Amino acid sequence: MGKDDPRRLIPRTDRLLAHAEVRSARARLGDDVIRSIVRGIQDRARSGELAPGDVEPEVVAAVASRAATSLRPVLNATGVIVHTNLGRAPLSESARKALLTAAGYVDVEMDLASGTRARRGAGAREALLRACPVAEDALVVNNGAAALLLATTVLAGTGEVVISRGELVEIGAGFRLPELIESTGARLREVGTTNRTHLHDYESALGEQTGCLLKVHPSNFRVTGFTSGVGISQLRSLADGHRVPLVVDLGSGLLAPDPVLPDEPDVASALESGADVVIVSGDKLLGGPQAGLLLGRAEVIARLARHPLARALRADKLALAALEATIAGEAPPVTAALHADPARLRERTEALAEAVGFPLVEHDGRVGGGGAPGVPLPGWAVRLPEDAARLLRTGDPAVLPRVHGGACLLDLRCIPEDEDGRLADAVRSALMRTGEPLGAGGA
């Protein structure tokens, strides 16, 4: 490198690290991260992408904007309440505060009065039993798949799991429940057909090799037309006659019936109909953290809790704290979005449409996360040009719209009302970057 080479003007690493704003960033970023940022910007200058004089301000700006996590907050304008790609249920304010409490030392597994070890997550268990009093006991593991894995491992062993062919579900990312069950060493005994299964199909399959009866709610699809299925109460009689446990996997997480979703099954009703244990997810319609919830007969839950696999699948203190606070605290965002006041939702959407000068259109939201498939949640959206979608996703704040029918649609159902102003600003910014003048779409 010659003495006149401009790369000699690139600030040295020690000088950049000594900058006051870079030093202050060490309160929230590790040294390795800061050094990586510095080296990356120096390399850009060495390659000619960046002028040497711009290195220092670039480093200062980079460390100021860098967070310790790469996860970015997103405004969910899709109208899908339980959006798996956005982490499913957003937590309530009470649950968020509980996470901060649980981040330190807490009595997750200790009785402070006696100073002895106690049952892990007793508060979350008691909250679940208060919310669903028909359950005799409850167990929390780290997600819904873990709950099903534990139940079939313990109750079926290497025996057969009897299940209807119409309930052999595949969910997102190619995850198939049959493959999960078979990974435990249990054998699937499929009965009936895809569209029709009768009680005698189950009865003819039961025998000495039967480990348990399993009923799975096909939560992410519907089969209509010439169909038939067998209810939990009918299966209960069959299970009693053959002395095998009845496991029901409902998936979506309603603890009790909800009038907005009259056809969505709930834990209380399933237990009252005769299920020995019901499995649901904590981060769907319940509106809590990722967790697998098993509720049912005390004897069955005790068997599950004693198995060594329960230790490997147990929920951590953060999930237990957030789950308890979700149940004991105010209505979580999922519930608020599901029960959004139609008049107020329209008012807010009209205000956004007027602010950005684009039209209001009717738009159906969805539960998402496999809940209530095919059930529309009537509402409205602001229709923008399709090319605004990418700019909204990559803006600050990041906004995820729905792209459909050649348009970018903004549904406010899942947007907290106090974020309406930020959303409007984000839309204006995106439209300016597309070159689309405000008001071009009409009011």
Per-residue pLDDT tens over the stretch 156-179: 999 999 999 999 988 777 789 899
Helix, coil or strand: residue 9:
helix
Q: Is residue 48 part of a domain?
A: yes
Per-residue pLDDT tens over the stretch 86-116: 999 999 999 999 999 999 999 999 999 999 9
Q: Is residue 20 part of a domain?
A: yes
Question: Do residues 195 and 289 share a domain?
Answer: yes
| CATH number (domain holding residue 419) | 3.90.1150.180
Average pLDDT of span 231-239: 96
Question: Do residues 119 and 251 share a domain?
Answer: yes
Q: Whole domain around residue 303: which residue ranges? A: 92-329
Q: Is residue 386 part of a domain?
A: yes
- What does the chain come to in residues? 443
For position 442, what pLDDT does the model report? 45
Question: Do residues 201 and 125 share a domain?
Answer: yes
| Torsion angle of the four alpha carbons 309, 310, 312, 316, in this order, in degrees rounded to the nearest 10 | 170
Per-residue pLDDT tens over the stretch 392-428: 999 999 999 999 999 999 999 999 999 999 999 999 9
Average pLDDT of span 142-152: 97
Extract the tokens encoding 164.
Answer: 């209807």
8 Å CB contact between 391 and 430: yes
Per-residue pLDDT tens over the stretch 132-143: 999 999 999 999
Per-residue pLDDT tens over the stretch 354-386: 999 999 999 999 999 988 888 999 999 999 999
Q: Which residue has the tokens 């979703």?
A: 261
Last residue of a domain, one of 300, 329, 358: 329
8 Å CB contact between 359 and 353: yes
Pairing label, strands 210-216, 187-191: unpaired
Question: Do residues 134 and 112 share a domain?
Answer: yes
Radius of gyration of the chain from its Cα atoms, rounded to whole angstroms: 27
| Among 331, 279, 329, CA closest to 300 | 279
Question: Do residues 208 and 174 share a domain?
Answer: yes
Q: Is residue 443 part of a domain?
A: no
Last residue of a domain, one of 287, 304, 329: 329
Average pLDDT of span 147-158: 96
| CATH number (domain holding residue 148) | 3.40.640.10
User: Average pLDDT, whole number, for the chain?
Assistant: 94
For position 89, what pLDDT does the model report? 97
pTM of the predicted model as reported, rounded to 2 decimal places = 0.91
Question: Do residues 213 and 302 share a domain?
Answer: yes
| Among 210, 215, 218, CA closest to 231 | 215
Q: Is residue 115 part of a domain?
A: yes
Q: Which range (1-15, 267-281, 331-345, 348-362) has the least confidence?
A: 1-15
For position 439, what pLDDT does the model report? 65
Last residue of a domain, one of 301, 329, 357: 329
The total number of structural domains that make up the chain: 3
Q: Is residue 429 part of a domain?
A: yes
